[in-house]
Structure 1
Amino acid sequence: MFARSLRGLFLLLFLALAGCAGSRSAGSETTVYLVRHGEKDLAPGLTDPLLTPAGEQRALALRDELGQRRIAAIFTTDTKRTRATVAPLAAKLSLTPLVYSAKDQAALAAQIRRDYAGKAVLVVGHSNTILEMVEALGAARPVSSIADAAHDYLLEVRVPAAGSPTATARRYGAPSPK
């Protein structure tokens, strides 16, 4: 009787430890989604342009694309167009976007690695910053450049707890003009 109880106890202990090990490895990869802001008003002289109707539609497409993901944080630069791009997704996920400086990609990469390890985050930036952010996270650029008219890239960087980060590029929402 004692031996059977002891075997049962060891079995429970083994299952508990196996469950802990499994949950640790499952959450060890950080996923960073990167997008450029939606289409902006190109009228001359605007210092901080708003989104156009196409940009507003892209913001809704981003919400639809990432709204079912477990996004832990949303980072945006401090411009009207980036904040408007994340607004529908932030509302859906009940998250307050965090403002970062596009001039310090290394600081944001370090913050993501430190504070959001094993989680998913979204970074919204600009055509001249999101590829640099991929590199700051340690991955190679999945595309060589992002054209000024291209607003439909969704970059995904996977940062494993051990090993090298990888990045992929896909498109979302309405295709940008070529």
Structure 2
Amino acid sequence: MNRKLLLALLTFALLFTTSAFAQQTTIWLVRHAEKQTSEAMMSSDPELSETGKLRAIDLANVLKRYPINAIYSTNYKRTLATAAPLAAEVKVSPVIYDAKDLAGIASKTLQYNKGKQVLIVGHSNTLIPVIKALKAELPFNELTDDDYDMLFKVVVDDNGNAKLTIAHYGKPHHTTEVPPAFKGTF
């Protein structure tokens, strides 16, 4: 076999093998579902409302099609209850993360879940910082208290490049509009 042909075949095989092992990590992020707001039920750690419980089921119905390997949640009733239907569906127990260490949850998620799909359940004031820590470009800098139906998908490649896609799920309940370049369907 001539050397040029052998070199070309080896180069092709190396490129094919390298791309076959390239992995993408998919991080799904969602704000907890609607919480109870009546005065009798208000506390620093409220339960989900009936609407919120339905939204949590909607979330599970969307994400059960994906191989979710890990679920991360803050240690609040509303975030854990949002994750619960999916956790039961995929048989994964949520791991509690510290809402004060948002860069830490982003780096740990990438470190321990390379090539996998995970869900992070957070709050209106924690999701954007986590997405920024994952180095994804964002179309806005905050969520409002009325943004309950956004599902964020960040895909991170082996080089650390991140792409954000946003879709709505369940009953519409948002005020922040998603620019077309970031809209997706899941």
Q: Confirm or deny: 8 A CA contact 1:142 1:169 kept in the other structure.
A: no
Tell me, in whole angstroms, the C-alpha distance in 1 between the residues paired with 2:110 and 2:104.
10
SS at match of 1:33: strand
Q: TM-score, normalised by structure 1?
A: 0.84
Q: Which residue of 1 aligns with 2:104?
A: 107
The 1:92–1:145 alpha-carbon spacing in structure 2 relative to 1, beyond 3 Å, is same
Tell me, in whole angstroms, the C-alpha distance in 2 between the residues paired with 1:134 and 1:18.
31
Q: Which residue of 1 aligns with 2:182?
A: none
Tell me, in whole angstroms, the C-alpha distance in 2 between the residues paired with 1:142 and 1:18.
35
Q: Which amino acid aligns with 1:69?
A: Y
The structure having more radius of gyration, on CA atoms, is 1
Q: Which residue of 2 aligns with 1:157?
A: 154
- Number of paired residues? 166
Q: Which residue of 1 aligns with 2:24?
A: 29
Which consecutive aligned stretches of 4+ in structure 1 deviate over 3 angstroms post-superposition?
A: 16-23
SS at match of 2:60: helix
1:125 to 2:122 alignment: yes
Which of residues 41, 60, 67 in structure 2 aligns to 1:70?
67
Q: TM-score, normalised by structure 2?
A: 0.81
Which of residues 161, 166, 171 in structure 2 aligns to 1:169?
166
Unpaired runs of at least 5, structure 1: 1-15
Q: Which amino acid aligns with 2:37?
A: L
Q: Which amino acid aligns with 1:30?
A: T
Q: Which residue of 1 aligns with 2:7?
A: none
Tell me, in whole angstroms, the C-alpha distance in 1 between the residues paired with 2:110 and 2:96.
17
Q: Which amino acid aligns with 2:146?
A: A
1:86 to 2:83 alignment: yes
Of all paired residues, the percent bearing the same amino acid is: 39
